[in-house]
Amino acid sequence: MTTLDTSDELHLKLYRQMFLIRRFEEEAARAYAQGKIGGFLHLYIGQEAIAVGAHAAMRQDDYMLTTYRDHGLALARGMAPRAAMAELFGKVTGCSKGLGGSMHFFDREHNMLGGYGIVGGHIPIGVGTAFASKYRGEDRVSMVFFGEGAVSIGDFHEGMSLASLWRLPVVFVCENNEYAMGTPISRTLSVADVSQKALGYGMARERFAAESVIHVRDRLRAIVDRVRETSEPTLVEIQTYRFRGHSMSDPGKYRTKEELEERKRKDVVLRARVELEEKGQSEALERIEKEVEDEVTDAIRFAEESPEPGPEILAPTTYTGAFAR
Amino acid sequence: MPQMNMVQAINDALRFEMRRDPRVVVLGEDVGKVGGVFRVTQGLFDEFGDDRVIDTPLSEGGIIGTAIGMALYGLVPVPEIQFSDFIFPAYDQIVSELAKFRYRSGGEYPAKIVIRTPVGGGIRGGHYHSQSPESQFIHVAGLKVVCPSNPADAKGLLLASIRDPDPVLFFEPKRIYRAAKGEVPEGDVTVPIGKARVVRSGKHLTLVAWGAMLYEALDAANQAASQGIETEVIDLRTLWPLDIDTIVESVKKTGRVVVVHEAPKSCGFGAEIVALVNEKAFLHLEAPPLRITGFDTPFPYTLENEYLPLSHRILPGIVQTARY
């Protein structure tokens, strides 16, 4: 077991990552409303403690894969806000040269192996990276995120089944935000406890709420350490809540204002800030927030000023040879 | 050179490459101890062990998804889908994930795997064990599609596929798994992907085929010769990327083209070939291009020899097109 860092310094670092995700996405939402970002934009606002806590529980050489709600994990992993924002704007300087957009971030350098737009499609892929780690005698862990809406899809079960059969070092993290698009979990699943899905595969399971980023880090670190040591997979259900709609086009009318307001009172970002203030870190907080504001402003400017890719960029992205016939 | 059938040649290629490259792993249903339902992987389990020749549950989406993850980590997986009719549970993984990895990473990170799968009719398998779904994969940008017709090509193309930087679907015509025999070069001999072969030259008509139907095409061409029609027969070997230059060069000489395939006619690969010939050699054509194919129905258990474009269906097409 590794000893856990509980210093204010670490807490500030995690707060900084969460605050960056929050401010990055708020500005992305503004740019979307201005028509600068096209297509779909799924915001992670409200769930930040999970990506940031999970990143802190993992090593940088571990692999992490997630859903189309992927900005948070990419930034937590270390993707530059410039590359992330430029991707949203469809610019050639984006993490996937503007070819993927919001739902399909990809960052090989930071071992963030993608956001995936097909629900559940990435789950067996994370099983494959875990297989390769074991095959090569390495101890890198794979972590796959998905929502509770994905656990009814075949890929989830096939991935779980193979991971357990082959005893692979993979952590399946279900971010249960209670709504599969607009449908509550009570109407999509026969059980309220998603972690029960592990039972049929003889897999270890854990279940907790994302109360704070430190809490998420602590719980996941213990799980990741165990998975790394034993090469036994685990299904983890983390209860959370998103403050925005499923995507920008979703006004979220399927839940009451009261429900939303109550959840917002438990905001993990605000909560971390209050705790750090109480510990006398006001000055550090202000400095961090100023830095993040500058970084996000810079990312927006960078994205706006970057060029769009030309059609010639498509050729080497499909086959080794030319794509056009 | 040793004589082999298709099964032995493919087995030889897998064994050769697994000895050469420790990153190569084989996975699929029954591929381990059993050696595969057609015994193509026989003996590999004993030589390379269960961490390189991996029995999987019936889980096609899981098999291909896992193989993609292995490839992202630097392994070279060669998954087997037991029949190409069973590939559809994995269609989402192949279409949505595998084919798009190079693209989504800005051209830098292909997920490179070779999916081997028996294809086509000829064993009275009925509608779930006989289909030829090649055009459904050719239509997906990002995949290469190969279908050999003889043991030497099977070995050489499989070696080339495993070493190719793009994902490859390797269709193995099961009708000729054991029937097609021939000399196979020993050791490291590859056949380039994307190159068709003119297997019979002629000046009156170009006949395009691949896989098991190549033999039917050749049979029909030989019969046509007795009626004074000299048919040029092209074995595509690689379906995508298509060697259209070889076809066009031939059509410019003959002015007539007939395409043969097992799959249903509508939107089959013959449609694409005819379209390309029209685009590239229209003014050389002396007759309407013709497709001789399976029917737009499920693959039948009874009537298999009517459904398949066997030589008795090809010959009248040759004569009709040549005399147009």
CATH number of residue A260's parent domain = 3.40.50.970
pLDDT score recorded for residue A325: 41
* Distance from the B70 Cα atom to the nearest Cα atom in chain A, whole angstroms: 4
What would the pLDDT profile of A50-101 be if each residue is shown by its tens digit?
999 999 999 999 999 999 999 999 999 999 999 999 999 999 999 999 999 9
**CB–CB of A145/A67 below 8 Å?**
yes
**CB–CB of B85/B60 below 8 Å?**
no
Interface of A with B in 60-79 (CB under 8 A): 63
Q: b vs e for A177-201, b when ≥16 Cβ sit within 10 Å of the residue's Cβ?
A: bbbbeeeebeeebeeeebbbbbeeb
**CB–CB of A54/A143 below 8 Å?**
yes
Number of domains forming the structure of chain A: 1
**Strand, coil or helix: B168:** strand
Catalytic center residues of B = 129
Instruction: Nearest chain A residue to B279 by CA: give it.
Output: A325
Higher pLDDT, B52 or A181: B52
pLDDT higher than 90, residue B110? no
Using 70 as the pLDDT threshold, list the residues of chain A that sit under it. 1-3, 320-325
Residues 6+ apart with CB under 8 A from A256: none
What would the pLDDT profile of B162-175 be if each residue is shown by its tens digit?
999 999 999 999 99
Select from B96, B97, B65, B95 the least CA-distant residue to B79: B65
Residue at A81 is within a domain: yes
Select from B322, B313, B263 the least CA-distant residue to B289: B322
pLDDT higher than 50, residue B1? yes
pLDDT higher than 60, residue B241? yes
Q: What percent of chain B has pLDDT over 70?
A: 100
What would the pLDDT profile of B273-318 be if each residue is shown by its tens digit?
999 999 999 999 999 999 999 999 999 999 999 999 999 999 999 9
Rg (C-alpha) for chain A, rounded Å, is 19
B106 and A CB contact within 8 Å? yes
**Strand, coil or helix: A64:** strand
* Distance from the A14 Cα atom to the nearest Cα atom in chain B, whole angstroms: 28
CA distance A5 to A53: 12
Tell if the CB–CB gap between A125 and B65 is shorter than 8 Å: yes
Interface of A with B in 133-172 (CB under 8 A): 133, 135-136, 142, 154-155, 158-159, 161-162, 165-166
Q: Of A113, A124, A319, which has the smallest distance from its Cβ to B65's Cβ?
A: A124
Select from A146, A141, A241, A240 the least CA-distant residue to A197: A146
Query: How do A183-184 and A179-180 pair as beta strands?
Result: antiparallel
Range of the domain at A154: 8-306
Q: What percent of chain B has pLDDT over 90?
A: 95
Tell if the CB–CB gap between A97 and B106 is shorter than 8 Å: yes
What would the pLDDT profile of B242-260 be if each residue is shown by its tens digit?
999 999 999 999 999 999 9
pLDDT score recorded for residue A316: 73
Average pLDDT on B22-46 reads 97
The token pair that represents A4 in the structure block = 């856990």
Please give the single-letter amino acid code of residue B60.
E
The gap between the terminal CA atoms of chain B, to the nearest Å, is 44
pLDDT score recorded for residue B127: 93
**A188, HSE (Cβ side, Cα atoms, 13 Å):** 18
What would the pLDDT profile of B14-25 be if each residue is shown by its tens digit?
999 999 999 999
Residue at A321 is within a domain: no
Q: Of B77, B103, B144, which has the smallest distance from its Cβ to A317's Cβ?
A: B103
Residue at A189 is within a domain: yes
Residue at A2 is within a domain: no
Q: What are phi and psi of B213, to 5 degrees?
A: -75, -10
What band does B105 get if pLDDT is binned at 50, 70 and 90? Answer: confident
Residues across chain B:
324
Report DSSP state, residue B95: I
Interface probe with A: pick from B73, B248, B277, B278, most Cβ of A within 10 Å: B73
Rounded to 10°, the helix B60-72/A123-135 angle is 60
**ipTM for the whole complex:** 0.90
Please give the single-letter amino acid code of residue B28.
G
Cα dihedral angle (B178, B181, B183, B186), rounded to 10 degrees? -10
Residue at A314 is within a domain: no
pLDDT score recorded for residue A322: 52
pLDDT score recorded for residue A321: 59
Residue at A33 is within a domain: yes
- In this prediction the pTM is 0.94
Domains of chain B: 3-183 (3.40.50.970), 197-322 (3.40.50.920)
Residue at A317 is within a domain: no
Select from A75, A99, A76, A79 the least CA-distant residue to A87: A99
The gap between the terminal CA atoms of chain A, to the nearest Å, is 57
**CB–CB of B306/B299 below 8 Å?**
no
Tell if the CB–CB gap between A319 and B104 is shorter than 8 Å: no
Residue at A311 is within a domain: no
